[in-house]
Structure 1
């Protein structure tokens, strides 16, 4: 199965919006098992379940599983794996909207890394977007209310590592198959999950355990359906994201990714009654506006 190289903006927008709809829905159900298993067991089981699905992607003509540059792809996967562990881990302690807001600070970090580390010019519009996005983060996380803690900044750390992986995708992994990048990331997530469980077995935390420190639990038939939902839904979402970027130029497509910050909280409210304060809602829109500005403006 192959997609046309010609730009199809409407089809691309529909594909990205569909992907964000799926991700915004399924990530809410992580709350179903945060009190039962650990983030390490979750990412390990999710990766194992995705193996047969990943093996099917090359058969659909979406690319090869084997990377051209193992070192570059592995380094990118390391950054992305760290981002996903922090993001998923944060969902054990905070509402989805807050975790998403932290993760989607990544465009802000991309601008800062490009300007401060890679010495690229940052125009006034992007500087303004960084300031607006930073204020938005403060409004969502509200550090003055509960104080700053490691748990509260976990999603922002996820946003930083996601930004590193985004830069690596463009600068280190140009020309790599999307399937190879996806497979490498899933493999590393599975390995990191297994290592985390081994460490918790060797060095048990004790009776007071949570989503970050709970050791391996078995059987898990009660939560297995939710993990299967995550595996299948995540792969479907990534498939649609790939399709979106194949159908239109990246600057047009990236704007629609921020729809997950509407879908996610909306589903959280409908399914679990999670609500946000007015200032947090304003902060989410500020982060989305900053990211959209960064995506659309070259200076």
Structure 2
């Protein structure tokens, strides 16, 4: 089911906002569970949820799962990028506070702007670039990451940023050629044949190991694993959907809203309380995101007025 959708920036921004709310909760679950379960097990659960929840839904909607060889090839690249990005982020969360890991990864919007301009030839105006820069300043005020303090794990979120910048650009290439639910379901069924055979490898790493499978010790842990799969799946579905309706360069500044959400989640679950400077940074970040929403709404209205033909004189 190949569809063609005109860009609708405000809808894309709202969908990206949903992504920015859900993913910090998913990361918090990964941080909690990462001390009990092997890394590979958590990643497999994410992909089982993707395939198990979204593939039946896509089929029920009449979506085509394999619309073309080109889409499947790019979906495989997208899946490999997703596996790499999730693996590195979950690894970073074993070492870093939630908000720190998210903040360090927020060099990604700048990478997105550069790639969007020079690879996809998307228009990146000075106001959007300025809003992105202001959002980055706010991010640095929320959490002041110290590479000297955390050591080499601080590099992991930087790698995540690069990987997910390419992930989002690949998604943008195929998002209008395949139903978004079908795309996520396809990612699940492409990822599992890559991940499951890795369970045959010997255990690697510390406690818990990176590779292995640990049965849930109680019902609470089981439900947390289920929640990890659901929140991650729904969050990335919203991100995929957002790219159907807005260019990646438009959505890049909106992702800064993930920072204040991560700060709130970190406070609620891990007792990480932002200091005064960080609270100011949250305000700056939100203001930057709201500026983008208002600007895109005004541009959409102006474009609609231009596109509406004048009534014939009579």
- The TM-score range, normalised by the shorter chain, is 0.7 to 0.9
SS at match of 2:94: coil
Q: Which residue of 1 aligns with 2:35?
A: 35
Are residues 1:143 and 2:141 paired? no
**Gaps spanning 5+ residues in structure 2: where?**
300-314
For residues 152-202 of structure 1, the C-alpha deviation after alignment (integer angstroms, 9 at most, x for no partner) is: 02112111111111222223564123233212333454345435544444x
Change in Cα spacing, 1:133 to 1:260, as seen in structure 2 (3 Å) is: closer
For residues 101-116 of structure 1, what are the structure 2 equivalents within 5 Å?
101-114=103-116
Counterpart-to-counterpart distance in 1, 2:6 and 2:121: 34
Q: Tell me which residue corresponds to 1:234.
A: 232
Moved more, 18-27 or 279-288: 279-288
1:67/1:181 contact within 8 Å kept:
no
Using the TM superposition, give the Cα deviation of residue 95 of structure 1 relative to its aligned residue in structure 2, in angstroms.
Answer: 1.7
> What is the rounded CA distance, in whole Å, between the counterparts of 2:152 and 2:43 in structure 1?
21
Partner of 1:175, secondary structure, is coil
Distance change (3 Å), C-alpha of 1:18 and 1:75: closer
- Whole-Å Cα distance in 2 between the matches of residues 111 and 155 of structure 1? 18
Q: What is the alpha-carbon distance in structure 1 between the residues aligned to residue 280 and residue 148 of structure 2?
A: 16
Please, which runs of 5 or more residues in structure 1 have no aligned partner? Answer: none
Cα distance between partner residues in 2 of 1:7 and 1:83: 27
For 2:61, the equivalent position in structure 1 comes to 61
Whichever of the two has the greater Rg, that structure is 2
1:271 equivalent in alignment to 2:269: yes
Partners of 1:115 and 1:11 in 2: how far apart?
Answer: 22
Q: Normalised by the size of structure 2, how large is the TM-score? A: 0.70
Counterpart CA distance in 1 for 2:172 and 2:238 is: 19
- Per the alignment, residue 52 of structure 2 pairs with 52
Are positions 1:260 and 2:258 aligned together?
yes
Computed over aligned residues only, the root mean square deviation of the Cα atoms, in angstroms, reads 4.1
> How many residue pairs end up in the alignment?
286
